[in-house]
């Protein structure tokens, strides 16, 4: 879903979601909750009615890399990025985040530090500007707020 109005000059916030987040609301609801990705996008639209959002989800690393580069190309005000499990493994996504000057806030719905050991390592996060983990889907809204304040 892409909700950027044509000709918009307002700062765009890009919300990128990685693998399996298209299953949000259905996958392991005891961990990720019952809200779907569409619910998250609708929530952000409601909480930030003045903000043009670009929403993108992919299960493919290369597509997420391309999206980060595109966020730079359009001079987005910020990127909210839930890389899913790539957060723990993808040096390519870390390099993509490091390659752009658009601020990136990484979001995890669950508290990765309260879960399996392999989730305690975040390889992309050091290249970004901040991490929110464990606050449920509100983490996305808090990340947007931080990016808008930073841009103001
Ligand atoms: C989402 C995933 O898909 C997991 O692989 C991460 C993250 C945690 C989340 O909490 O949003 O480990």
For 1-52, what is each residue's pLDDT tens digit? 455 555 556 789 999 999 999 999 999 999 999 999 999 999 999 999 999 9
Please tell me the distance between residue 6's alpha carbon and the centre of ligand 1 in angstroms: 33
113 is catalytic: no
Give dist(CA 88, CA 110) in Å, integer: 14
Residue 140 reports pLDDT greater than 50: yes
Instruction: Show the ligand 1 pocket: residues with CB < 6 angstroms.
Output: 20, 82, 84-85, 87, 108-110, 112, 119
- Tokens 């916030």, residue? 13
Give dist(CA 73, CA 136) in Å, integer: 30
32 is catalytic: yes
What mean pLDDT do residues 45-64 have? 98
42: Cβ–Cβ under 8 A, 6 or more apart, which residues?
Answer: none
Convert the pLDDT of each residue in 84-112 to its tens digit. 999 999 999 999 999 999 999 999 999 99
Give dist(CA 74, CA 64) in Å, integer: 15
Residue 1: predicted pLDDT: 46
> Which of 6-20, 22-36, 61-75, 117-131 has the weakest average pLDDT?
6-20
Q: Are 18 and 79 in contact (CB under 8 A)?
A: no
Give, for ligand 1, the residue of 28, 93, 108, 139 to mutate: max count of ligand atoms closer than 8 Å to Cβ.
Answer: 108
């Amino acid at each position: 879903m892409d909700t950027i109005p044509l000709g918009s000059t307002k700062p765009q916030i890009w919300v990128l979601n990685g693998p399996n987040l298209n299953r949000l609301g259905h996958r392991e609801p005891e961990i990720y909750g019952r809200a779907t990705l569409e619910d998250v996008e609708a929530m952000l639209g409601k909480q930030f009615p003045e903000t043009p959002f670009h929403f993108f989800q992919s299960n493919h690393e290369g597509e997420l890399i391309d999206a980060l580069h595109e966020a730079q190309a359009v001079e987005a005000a910020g990127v909210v990025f839930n890389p899913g499990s790539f957060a723990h493994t993808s040096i390519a996504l870390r390099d993509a985040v490091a390659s752009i000057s658009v601020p990136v806030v990484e979001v995890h719905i669950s508290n990765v530090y309260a879960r399996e050991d392999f989730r305690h390592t975040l390889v992309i996060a050091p290249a970004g500007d901040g991490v929110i983990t464990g606050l449920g889907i509100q983490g996305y809204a808090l990340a947007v707020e931080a990016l808008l304040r930073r841009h103001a």
